[in-house]
Structure 1
């Protein structure tokens, strides 16, 4: 039995040779833009790199195609990143979802065949792997490498395109199938892409909902592209060209500071959007005992004036970088225990639930009592 390899080390991989399982339901609403003249390809021995649920759907789609069309997909070997330690003493390991799926598919394979999988590969497929695939591995593959990226490339190149799509309030999202660049992320030739402007993003969409929107169409785009032979050179670029007045943005990986509330610049709507995407945002407040404590805002809403029960003469004191302090006016409360703050950049922010440093999550009307100070 082959084992999982650590990324960037060539050796043994978990083999998924001649798999059999329930077929992936395909999205029929997506008509990808790609060259329709199919090119002849040798049977593909795929080396698949991935991690999350987005990549799991692509692996399932490839295994589905392998079962139905072994003349196109002959074998699949999987590479995952090492699991991360967690829990008390960091003694437990949290594996990526793709490893669990690969093991599940491998067990089903063993019930069907004892065929020895090939050790070579002629195509690399990377989906949400998060690390650059070494150029020596890409160059060693006859057909190079392919990558699925959930954006309308060149827009939102980077590690977090879905997050940035929501944070910037975009109304559409695209999917791109590109070649793997040997030295950079998201700089390959675009071989297939959703027609501009892409798939609609519903109002107040969450990150989980956006993943659901792009996952199945992306997996279908990958398989349709292989059927069309887009991996066979010469490669034809079919991506859109942003107009001169369109701002192409990067989708850098988000960090802890991205969840720190910018009280001077963010509107109430932007704070609500950040919580939808990140799960929580945070700030540092000073209480009535002059303690400066970190407070997470876990449930917020951009509200109108008519829901506010007025409170006069109250404020919360925000402690910024370097200890600088600024005040935010408390406009009132709500009948369900929320506290309404007046955002200087616009809008009324209802804070429903918070988690104060050292305490459990609670309703804002109770948890923020020590932080509601008198106006000077």
Structure 2
């Protein structure tokens, strides 16, 4: 029996496998029931549905509609109920709890502080509330028998003019729960080079940052993020596939940019379900992650917006297992890739890999092998 067959994971094993998440938006992962309750508490009356189940369906259908206006409207609703300290603490705590329940052992969750100021909070109060929520969620997860560590990424919006201010904020809180910086928003018309002052500042401070690039706009977005801005990671980066040519005989030719990304081991924060919604791939089986995995790019698997995509880390891996026949070895490879690429210190990343991730997968593989052996013995006994 081949290791490919032996290591094919069940849904339960995927859920229990120690997973690492680098690209998840706080305002894209709320529980529908929480949105309804917070709307009632704050007097927000514009929700399209007030039944949690129906609201969850509405978010997924709006994200799948193909309408940019409806997709952006989804975030208007989540951000609207995330304007008070208590709401931010609750949403962040529930985020950590939900991820831990799904088997995530390390996560970097991003949000834009500038989008949570409508009720009078300062940028600092927003950051402190979210950090408090993450710590509370970690504590509750431990009480429930789960282990998770959550770091925050502070995001600046590409169309706004506060990137340097948010970068300075990320630097002030870098040892207090914030692990890095990000920019997000529409790529077309808002290149990362508009915010060079923020990136230059972060580099001078030896701080980490990722840039949403290569999702909707293409190779120029990736090139600018890397060569002009110096990004440590690429948020999505899925359009790097445009610089890879697969010939009829099966041979593969990498362009200069794709070769650079692979040679430099630049992490790609890939979000398969989200990429399908935005048209970056037609199906899971056609998603570039399959080829990028075969070519040994530093690919990672992520959720992006769990509410809008109706997904989780386990669901993402379930779909990839179905599409590509991935095994526990593949899921471990993606998880180690992500942990290597995290924005925490090297020794802490190494400890997570050696003390948590590798032992977790070894246990799952041994469990699977035991089950297979027991099943084989049972079949032999039945035949006898």
TM-score (norm 1): 0.24
Greater RCO between the two (CA within 8 Å, min separation 6)? 2
> Comparing both structures, which one devotes a greater share of its residues to helix?
2
Larger radius of gyration: 1
